[in-house]
A and B are shown apart, each in its own frame.
Chain A
Amino acid sequence: MRTKRHCRYPPPPSDQTPRRIGEDRISALPDALLIHILSYLPGIDAVKTGVLSKRWSRLWTWTPNLVFDQLGEWDEKSNNFVPFIDAFLVLHSSPKIQKLAIDMDYKKRLHLDNSMDEWLRFASGRAAEELNLQLSELGYVHSWDFRGNVERYLLPSFIYSNNSMKRLDMSFIDVQPSDAVSWPILQSLSIRSSLLTESTIQKILLGSPHLKILELNNCEGFDLLRIDSKSLKRLVIHGIWHPSGGIDDVLQISAPYILSLEISGHFYKRRVQLLDVSSLVDVVINLQVWVEDRRCVLVKYSNILREILRKIRHVEKLNVGACSMKANSDIGNSCAPDVLEEKKKCKILSMMKEIFWAFLVSGRKNLILNVEPTRRNISDIACFLQTSPKLESLQINLASFHGTSRKVVGPQKTSSSCLQLQFDPESYATLESYWTPKNRFSKHMLAQLRTVEIVGFNKTHDSNGIVIALVRSLLKHAKVLEKVAICAPEIEYDSDNTLVARKFLTFRRASRKALVQFS
């Protein structure tokens, strides 16, 4: 006996034909479209559609994407995850799959390793184009949980010869090919938390003639990363695995053909040194510092950063992360304040800054700084501008370091009383000193700057005065400036906005075309 179906969504507008009410539109779609919809679902959801109706009973077995996430619906105590995947793969119908993705905790056990080998064999046999194996060490949450060399899953040898794979993502897996690697159509490779020897890396590069992107996250085991491959366009190195290593520990990178480089994350005591990176076009630097012994580490850090900046002077587009900017500004404060007098300290500070920035004049055209302008780092911002005479576009992302929310507190109306529209005179003076004629770089500074973008502006935040000082100073000196865009995503449109906008309109500008835009 059929029960009456209730209409669960609001009644359609009256111009719709009555037959559409309560109709099962989804089952009317052709198989291919239903399977396409199912391809966006993780395995656990896809399989449930098998009991919806006869129409649906076998559709899920044709999904091209097999995605299994242990954190999804399995609690830690359940051991159903592995049998689930086994059963799913057994029932799967399609001779070709697009992707196999598994995200699970791992602890070395024979039967688990055997299951994983079988899953990979399945993926290879079905010509999977994308393989994503994210294993996490069971119980490992923070870097200080590191317990020494824990056994990882060893990637089986048949995987090193694969003609269908275009994308391979692995985490916490032992990559130790004993013979040659053959990944003829692999385009993107990402390896995390692995020990990789230089010879393994060379085997991989040799066997992947079309590799475009290589990402190494928290990997170790190599001191020289030499990439002679002409196909590789993008290299990402994110941190190293463990805070070990001595004073002379250096990671050297030689990649004369890559176009895009990202160096980020924690390198602890390891120094990063760039050798040949002559083709680079865009770079992201976001090195983090280990703060065990602040003073000497920061000075060493500044040397590392300086050397990197020197090697990438030719790079057109530079993005400096919040951590790198902050650490660089902190350098000046690494002198022991209790030993030196104020005056001497200031002199040493400015000398250190001068030494840092000497000979760093670059050819960059685009600069992105992730930084919250403060009185301490405003001179660094100015120095970046000073060493970028060809700069055409500047973007400042106002990062919030200390977790303080940048939301406007309180109702919008009363916030106008604490609207900070005054620029900070001290910062303004600092900036202006960089633009004075007697400063030898000032002639070319800002000469080509066309667009400035400030993202994350909040009208009641402390750093506003400094941001406004910066904008004012740029408007005053940039002769070909066309647009200053200020993105204030949390401000709703109200009268305060016109107040702020009007304030900017009062600033003197060197370029007649300059336009200040709020969004």
Chain B
Amino acid sequence: MITLRSSDGETFDLDEVVAVELQTIKNMMEDGCAESVIPVPNVEGKILAKVIEYCKKHVKSTAKAEEHALSDADLKAWDSDFIKLDQATLFDLIMAANYLDIKSLLDLLCQTVANMIKGKSPEEIRQIFNIKNDFTPEEEQEIRRENQWAFQ
């Protein structure tokens, strides 16, 4: 049993089989520097909770887990529900998945963000993500001209 402690003091108990999904934690366990409670200073409690929720669902099937293992289709359906998040949580999760090195979660989240960008114009993308256009009007004109081939 591994215990993780979030930046705001919440603790989470994990079975080892779930804990190894978080590559960072797994490395610590293998290097022998995993103490009884592992602090995760960059990640808030409510985000860490979501990360653990994901890892529990995606734990690689061992002999015991296979009985409860979801089919690929069920897992995909669960994933598409999981990613219905507000932007703040989405980006917090991306940072957490990156820090804790959970490849499948990071890929899922990045694909989700990519889907929000796909097919949109730059103006729409700026609006969705609140990206400030910091080009001066002259700079913007130059960029547009340079990239004319990209916009038809």
Of the listed stretches B49-57, B58-66, B109-117, name the one at the interface; the rest are far from the partner chain: B109-117
Residue among B91, B106, B118, B122 making CB contact with A51, cutoff 8 Å = B122
A48 & B150 in contact (Cβ 8 Å cutoff): yes
Closest B residue by C-beta to A80: B152
In the assembled complex, A499 has its CB within 8 A of some CB on chain B: no
User: Which chain B residue lies CB-closest to A88?
Assistant: B150
The smallest beta-carbon distance between B88 and chain A, in angstroms, is 5
Instruction: Write the nearest CB–CB distance from B111 to chain A, whole angstroms.
Output: 5
Cβ–Cβ < 8 Å partners of A38 in chain B: 114
Point out the residues of chain B lying under 8 angstroms from A27, CB to CB. Answer: 129, 131
- Beyond A37-B114, A47-B147, whether A5 also contacts B98 by CB under 8 A is no
- Cα–Cα distance between A144 and B134 once the two chains are bound (Å): 56
Q: How far is the CA of A490 from the CA of B89 in the complex (A)?
A: 33
B80 interface residue (CB < 8 Å to A): no
Instruction: For chain A, residues 376 to 435, give those with C-beta under 8 angstroms from any C-beta of chain B.
Output: none
Looking at the assembled complex, report how far the CB atom of B32 sits from the nearest CB atom of chain A, in whole angstroms. 29
Give bound CA distance, A52 to B121, whole Å. 10
Interface size of A as a range: 35 or more
Give the residue of A22, A74, A80 whose beta carbon is less than 8 angstroms from that of B130. Answer: A22
* Residue A143, interface by CB 8 Å: no
The DSSP consensus for interface residues of chain B is helix
Give Cα distance in the complex from A27 to B131, angstroms.
7
Interface size on B, residues (CB 8 A): 39
Complex CA–CA separation, A28 to B94 (angstroms): 11
**Contacting residues, chain B, for A44 (C-beta < 8 A):** 150
A37 to B130, CA, bound (A): 17
Give the shortest distance, in Å, between A58 (CB) and chain B (any CB): 11
Q: Are B114 and A87 in contact (CB under 8 A)?
A: no
Interface 9-residue window, one of A8-16, A161-169, A329-337: A8-16
Q: Is the CB of B86 within 8 A of A45?
A: no
* A50, CB-defined interface residue at 8 Å: yes
Known A24-B130, A29-B94, A45-B119; contact A51-B114, beta-carbon cutoff 8 A: no
Q: Is A23 an interface residue (CB 8 A)?
A: yes
Contact B129 A25 (CB under 8 A): yes
Q: Are A24 and B88 touching (Cβ within 8 A)?
A: no
Residues of A within 8 A of B134 (CB): 53-55
Complex CA gap A4/B118 in Å reads 25
Q: Is A40 within 8 A of B143, CB to CB? A: no
Residue among B87, B98, B110, B132 making CB contact with A9, cutoff 8 Å: B87
**Is A83 interfacial (CB 8 A cutoff)?**
yes
Task: Fill in one digit per residue for A45-82: 1 if any B CB lies within 8 Å of its CB, else 0.
Answer: 10111111111110000000000000000100010100
A149 to B124, CA, bound (A): 47
Tell me which residues from 81 to 130 in chain B have a Cβ below 8 Å from any Cβ of chain A. Answer: 86-88, 90-91, 94-95, 98, 106, 110-111, 113-115, 117-122, 125-130
Q: Which of A10, A12, A49 contacts B117 (CB 8 A)?
A: A49
Q: Is A36 an interface residue (CB 8 A)?
A: yes
Cβ A48 vs Cβ B111 within 8 A: no
Q: Which residues of A contact B98 (CB under 8 A)?
A: 33
Out of A8, A20, A45, A74, which one reaches B118, CB within 8 Å?
A45
In the complex, the answer to whether A5 meets B110 with C-beta atoms within 8 Å is no
Q: How many Å from the CB of A259 to the closest CB on chain B?
A: 20
On chain B, the residues within 8 Å of A49 by CB distance are 117, 122, 125
Q: In the assembly, what is the distance between CA of A36 and CA of B114, in Å?
A: 9
Contact status A24-B131, CB under 8 Å? yes
Tell me if B36 counts as interface (CB < 8 A to partner A).
no
Knowing A26-B113, A38-B114, A41-B117, the reply to whether A8 touches B149 (Cβ < 8 A) is no
Bound state CA distance, A361 and B135, in angstroms? Answer: 74
Q: Which residues of A have CB within 8 Å of B88?
A: 12, 16, 20, 23, 25
Q: Is the CB of B87 within 8 A of A25?
A: yes
B144 contacts A by Cβ under 8 Å: yes
Q: Which residue of B lies closest to A50 (CB)?
A: B147
Can you pick out 13 interface pairs between chain A and chain B where the beta carbons lie within 8 Å of each other? A24-B129, A28-B91, A33-B94, A40-B111, A40-B115, A41-B114, A41-B118, A42-B118, A48-B120, A53-B131, A53-B132, A53-B135, A56-B131
Residues of A near any B CB (own CB < 8 A): 2, 5, 8-10, 12, 16, 20, 22-29, 33, 36-42, 44-45, 47-57, 74, 78, 80, 83-84, 87-88
**What 3 A-B pairs come out closest when comparing CB atoms?**
A40-B114, A25-B91, A47-B150
